[in-house]
Amino acid sequence: MQARTVTMTDLVRYTVVIALLILFLFPIYWMIATSFKDPADILTRPPKWAFKPTLENYRYAFEEANFGLFIKNSLFVSLASTALVIVLGTLASYSFARYNPGAGHLMFFILTTRMMPAIAVIIPYFLIFREIGETTIGQTLGLGLDKQGALVVCYTMFNLPFAIWLMHSFFQDIPIELEDSARLDGYSRLQVLRRVVLPLAAAGIAVTAIFCLLFSWNEFLFAFLLTRSAASTITVGVNGFWTLRGILWGPLSAAATVCVVPMMVFALLLQRYIVRGLTFGAVRG
């Protein structure tokens, strides 16, 4: 990049970009600010920009609305389902990339499952998990209604198609000659997978894991419908502040902040991977 003087277009462009950034980031700032406001400062007309911060909303969320439990549930369900997706999805995606079982039709089927409207599946899921929850296997694995296991399985199901599709591109990028020469050296197929392919695909797998974590953490509908109190996740908790008595804006903002900010920090730290993941499916196809 040669050194060039700053031109007028540069200035204009950066002004526009900064304005855009302010527009896109303002709601997040407002959410965080509101979470530290005293309820009296929230319901003011017009809204206050300067205020004395308080931790009352957080205290309420954690002590009276039992938010700590929701966080724990979200953490467990997201991590567990992501782990399952990575293990099962990597194997399957590798197989599709190298051997293409089903000659493209299976892959197409997998892609279409992503399009199923939730309502078509929610009642069957509800009934399935209710039945499994009564069996002993179900109870030991925690696979009933209002149990974490049910959500883990659900989210695994949701994220598998996406993970397989995303990792497909990453695997296709690994030159097959590397695998062939390892095979010639006498390694078995599984060994080739473990020693040659996986290290090279590690970045792609990391990207997929990040997305699965993000989707599971942010998911609302199935958590809402399949849990009642014991296994509810953060998103359900946030929605719970919209009560019949009215909307508790303060604790709601605190809950929303707890739900949103960790994922944002996560995204900021791993932005390089996330952008790579977003674009890999798109640019390479």
Partner 1 sequence: MPPHVRVAQKGVKMDRTIQEISVASKAPKKAMSDTWYSILLIAPAMLIIFFFALVPLFYAIYLSLRYADLTSPAGIGPFVGLQNFRFALNEGVFWMSTGHTLTFAVFAVGAEMVLGVTIAFQLNQLRWFKGVIRSLLLLPLAAAPIAVGQVWRYMYHMDFGVFNQILAPLGIPAQNWLGDLRLVMPCVIVFDVWQWTPFVALIVLAGLQSLPKEPFEAAELDGASTWQVLRRLTFPMLTPVLTLVFALRSIDAIRMYDAVASLTRGGPGMATETLTYYLFRLGLKYFRMDYAGAMSLLFLYVTVVFTAVVLRSMMRVQAERARRA
Q: Counting contacts by CB under 8 A, is residue 186 touching partner 1? A: yes
Q: Using CB under 8 A, which of 103, 115, 137, 244 touches partner 1? A: 115
Q: What is the CA radius of gyration of the chain?
A: 23
Q: How far is CA 273 from CA 15, 172, 263, 267, 269, in A?
A: 28, 18, 14, 9, 9
Helix (H) / strand (E) element for 242: namely strand 242-243
Are the CB atoms for 147 and 231 separated by under 8 Å? yes
Tokens 């014991």 belong to: 230
Instruction: Report how far residue 223's alpha carbon sits from residue 158's, in angstroms, rounded to the nearest whole number.
Output: 13
Q: Using CB under 8 A, which of 105, 114, 194, 228 touches partner 1? A: 114
Q: Using CB under 8 A, which of 133, 138, 144, 161 touches partner 1? A: 161
Q: How far from chain centre, in Å, is Cα 9?
A: 38
Say whether 33 sits in a helix, a strand or coil.
helix
State in angstroms the smallest separation of the CB of 147 from partner 1: 16
Quick one: 28 or 79, whose CB is closer to partner 1? Answer: 28
Q: Using CB under 8 A, which of 5, 64, 103, 117 touches partner 1? A: 117
Indicate the burial class of 206 (C-beta count within 10 angstroms; 0-12, 13-18, 19 or more): middle
Q: Token pair of 257, please?
A: 């902040």
Q: Using CB under 8 A, which of 64, 137, 140, 285 touches partner 1? A: 285
Quick one: 21 or 230, whose CB is closer to partner 1? Answer: 21
Q: Counting contacts by CB under 8 A, is residue 60 touching partner 1? A: no
Are the CB atoms for 223 and 236 separated by under 8 Å? yes
Q: Counting contacts by CB under 8 A, is residue 214 touching partner 1? A: yes
Q: Using CB under 8 A, which of 82, 156, 169, 227 touches partner 1? A: 156
Stretch that binds partner 1, among 61-69, 93-101, 135-143, 201-209 (CB under 8 A): 93-101
Tokens 């060994």 belong to: 191
**Binding to partner 1, residues 24-53 (CB under 8 A):** 24-25, 27-28, 30-31, 34, 42-47
Q: Using CB under 8 A, which of 13, 59, 105, 228 touches partner 1? A: 13
Query: Any idea what DSSP says for residue 43?
Result: S
**Binding to partner 1, residues 227-246 (CB under 8 A):** 234-235, 238-239, 241-242
Are the CB atoms for 205 and 198 separated by under 8 Å? yes
Q: Counting contacts by CB under 8 A, is residue 113 touching partner 1? A: yes
State in angstroms the smallest separation of the CB of 200 from partner 1: 17
Q: Using CB under 8 A, which of 69, 75, 83, 121 touches partner 1? A: 121
Stretch that binds partner 1, among 51-59, 106-114, 144-152, 197-205 (CB under 8 A): 106-114
Quick one: 209 or 219, whose CB is closer to partner 1? Answer: 219
State in angstroms the smallest separation of the CB of 180 from partner 1: 13
Are the CB atoms for 109 and 179 separated by under 8 Å? no
| Residues listed for the chain | 285
Q: Counting contacts by CB under 8 A, is residue 66 touching partner 1? A: no
Tokens 């965080």 belong to: 32
